[in-house]
């Protein structure tokens, strides 16, 4: 706020006086009017902040209690109204049937009494012969049939519904993301090697909320963390060389990072075990397993794919001293819907349905919780480069709308298969095995950051590529 050299007109009172410049609206005010002006602006700002806080609270309530949304309440009201209509209609029909049945029963009783009198008369007169017996039998059968299946009463069902039907209509089609085709190298990319600025065939990758990347550096027998925008990584698990000591790794393929307790669960592929590293302390969680890849669902269950037994097993958190439960596979190697052939990566959704990269069958399978067999949701048309085919699929990710992203390693591309579609679409690459920014060479891992950027572990190019989302 700066005082003007000369008297000018105050914007509010329109009088000549010593004025002060308001930076926010570029107008001149007398001192008193400027103070009032600023107070008014502050009050308006406070109102906006209050509205913001109230709207934020509404968003949080909707996230925590989606059942309270007006649309859900509208559906619930339709359900109650429909049930009431059905109940009233059913009660009206019951009354009609009971009234008609009572009348019918009275008529049948009269006919039965008449038949009884005839029987007594035949017996009294000793007039029993074949004709009379057939007559009595037919009359009794007719009366009985009328009681079991009343000829004047039937249930008529009208195909025209008397209840207002509802359905959910989405006015816009789902819009799926697209990414720039030229990637940025965010880890490795300095040739094959074991220096801190190099990688040697990276496989599994995870990115946290700070955009730090955790990498299973397969041929270097280590887990490396690359901080956001760092020029080199740092080793957080594994030693200088491979081995089977508790502090060593042997061809690690996949990892789970728990930010809350700073622990890492690792598929120690070469040592046939699953280990946990926490603050430089290590322990074996599962031993004697041909672990290929692993993941954990939101309930804390651990899933591990066994590429030799061609199955996926599940363990409850903290209960790793048993054999776990088979949740996919179990029928030896094969290509039937209840079989797998060298399963690799796993994805588990919120309903605990399991998606499995069935590598040697060149398909992705979905097994619903407790299902005895899966169904094909991507590929499954033999190995090939067509849009309805995959070649040795690796990492998979399933979006909120059921779209499946696949690191199609044999075809050097990332694919997206939308729910219900017979074929996929190429998301990035697919431009042959080279090392240009728009190319991949046997992509294995993939993940997304909070902004939707796509990260790919470019296995044979020894680098992690970032494909930026197009907004």
Q: Which two tokens stand for residue 225?
A: 């963390």
Q: Do 438 and 465 share a domain, yes or no?
A: yes
Instruction: Measure the CA angle with vertex 166, ends 163 and 169; round to 5°.
Output: 165
Q: Do 43 and 97 share a domain, yes or no?
A: no
Q: Name the domain boundary from 170, 188, 214.
A: 170
Q: Name the domain boundary from 64, 94, 109.
A: 64
Q: Which two tokens stand for residue 10?
A: 């105050």
pLDDT band at 4 (very low <50, low <70, confident <90, very high): very low
Q: Which two tokens stand for residue 274?
A: 């699953």
The percent of residues in the chain predicted with pLDDT above 90, rounded, is: 55
What's the maximum distance between 2 C-alpha atoms anywhere in the chain?
141
Q: Do 186 and 163 share a domain, yes or no?
A: no
1 falls within a domain: no
pLDDT band at 174 (very low <50, low <70, confident <90, very high): confident
446 falls within a domain: yes
pLDDT band at 148 (very low <50, low <70, confident <90, very high): low
Q: Name the domain boundary from 170, 189, 222.
A: 170
Residue 317, domain CATH: 2.120.10.30
pLDDT at 392: 97
Identify the residue whose tokens are 């591990």: 304
Q: What is the pLDDT of residues 51-94, one digit of tens each?
A: 778 877 777 777 777 787 788 888 888 888 888 888 887 887 88
Residue 308 structural domain: 178-470
List the 343-348 sheet strands across, edge first: 343-348, 354-358, 363-367, 375-379
User: What single-letter DSSP state applies at residue 149?
Assistant: S
Q: What is the pLDDT of residues 14-24, one digit of tens each?
A: 888 888 888 77
Q: Is 80 left (phi over 0), alpha (psi -120 to 50) or beta?
A: alpha
Q: Do 45 and 152 share a domain, yes or no?
A: no
Q: Which two tokens stand for residue 276?
A: 């946990």
69 falls within a domain: no
Three-state SS at 47: helix
Q: 123, exposed or middle or buried, with CB in 10 Å at 0-12, 13-18, 19+?
A: exposed
71 falls within a domain: no
Q: Do 85 and 113 share a domain, yes or no?
A: yes
Q: Do 113 and 227 share a domain, yes or no?
A: no
**What pTM does this model have?**
0.66
75 falls within a domain: no
Report the alpha-carbon distance of residue 298 to residue 300 in Å, rounded. Answer: 5
405 falls within a domain: yes
pLDDT at 117 over 80: no
Q: Do 133 and 30 share a domain, yes or no?
A: no
72 falls within a domain: no
Three-state SS at 40: helix
Three-state SS at 211: coil
| Phi (first) and psi of residue 237, to 5 degrees | -160, 145
Segments of 213-317 assigned E as strands: 213-217, 222-226, 234-238, 252-258, 263-268, 273-278, 281-287, 291-296, 302-306, 311-315
Q: Do 94 and 157 share a domain, yes or no?
A: yes
396 in Cβ contact with 415 (< 8 Å): no
290 Cβ neighbours under 8 A, 6+ residues apart: 272, 306, 307, 308, 309
Q: Do 187 and 86 share a domain, yes or no?
A: no
Report the alpha-carbon distance of residue 119 to residue 84 in Å, rounded. Answer: 51
Least confident of 93-107, 135-149, 151-165, 211-225: 151-165
The domain tally of the chain equals: 3
Q: Do 259 and 322 share a domain, yes or no?
A: yes
Q: Do 164 and 191 share a domain, yes or no?
A: no
Mean pLDDT estimate for the chain: 87
Of 471 and 178, the structure prediction assigns the larger pLDDT to 178
Q: Do 315 and 203 share a domain, yes or no?
A: yes
239 in Cβ contact with 221 (< 8 Å): yes
pLDDT at 1: 45
2 falls within a domain: no
């Amino acid at each position: 706020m700066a005082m003007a050299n000369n008297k000018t007109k105050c914007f509010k009172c329109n009088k000549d006086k010593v004025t002060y410049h308001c930076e926010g609206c570029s107008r001149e005010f007398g001192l008193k009017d400027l103070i009032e002006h600023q107070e008014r602006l502050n009050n308006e700002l406070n109102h906006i902040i209050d509205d913001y806080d109230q709207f934020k609270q509404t968003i949080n309530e909707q996230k925590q209690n989606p059942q309270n949304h007006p649309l859900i309440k509208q559906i619930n009201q339709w359900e109650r109204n429909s049930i009431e209509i059905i109940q009233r209609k059913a009660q009206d029909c019951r009354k009609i049937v009971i009234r008609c049945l009572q009348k019918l029963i009275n008529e049948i009783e009269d006919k039965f009494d008449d038949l009884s009198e005839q029987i007594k008369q035949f017996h009294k007169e000793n007039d029993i012969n074949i004709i009379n017996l057939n007559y009595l039998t037919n009359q009794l059968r007719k009366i009985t049939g009328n009681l079991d299946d009343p000829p004047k009463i039937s249930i008529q069902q009208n195909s025209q519904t008397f209840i207002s039907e509802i359905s959910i209509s989405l006015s816009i089609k789902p819009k799926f993301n697209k990414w720039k085709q030229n990637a940025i190298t965010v880890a490795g990319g300095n040739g094959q090697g074991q220096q801190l600025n190099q990688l040697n065939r990276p496989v599994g990758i995870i990115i946290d909320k700070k955009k730090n990347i955790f990498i299973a550096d397969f041929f270097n027998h280590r887990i490396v963390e690359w901080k956001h925008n760092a020029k080199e990584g740092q080793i957080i698990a594994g030693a200088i060389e491979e081995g089977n000591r508790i502090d060593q790794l042997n061809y690690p393929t996949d990892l789970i990072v728990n930010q809350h307790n700073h622990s890492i669960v690792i598929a120690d592929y070469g040592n046939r075990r699953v280990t946990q590293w926490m603050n430089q302390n290590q322990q074996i969680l599962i031993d004697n397993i041909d672990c290929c890849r692993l993941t954990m669902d939101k309930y804390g269950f651990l899933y591990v794919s066994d590429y030799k037994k061609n199955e996926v097993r599940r363990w409850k958190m903290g209960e790793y001293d048993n054999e776990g439960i088979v949740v996919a596979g179990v029928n030896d190697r094969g290509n039937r819907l209840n079989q797998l052939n060298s399963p690799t990566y796993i994805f588990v959704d919120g309903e605990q349905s399991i998606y499995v990269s069935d590598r040697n069958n060149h398909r992705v399978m979905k097994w619903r919780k407790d299902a005895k067999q899966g169904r094909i949701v991507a590929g499954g048309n033999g190995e090939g480069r067509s849009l309805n085919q995959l070649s040795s699929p690796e990492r998979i990710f399933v979006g909120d709308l059921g779209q499946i992203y696949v690191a199609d390693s044999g075809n050097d591309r990332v694919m997206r298969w939308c729910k219900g579609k017979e074929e996929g679409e190429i998301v990035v690459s697919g431009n042959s095995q080279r090392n240009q920014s728009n190319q991949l060479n046997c992509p294995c891992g993939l993940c997304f950051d909070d902004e939707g950027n796509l990260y790919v572990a470019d296995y044979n190019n020894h680098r992690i590529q970032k494909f930026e989302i197009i907004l």
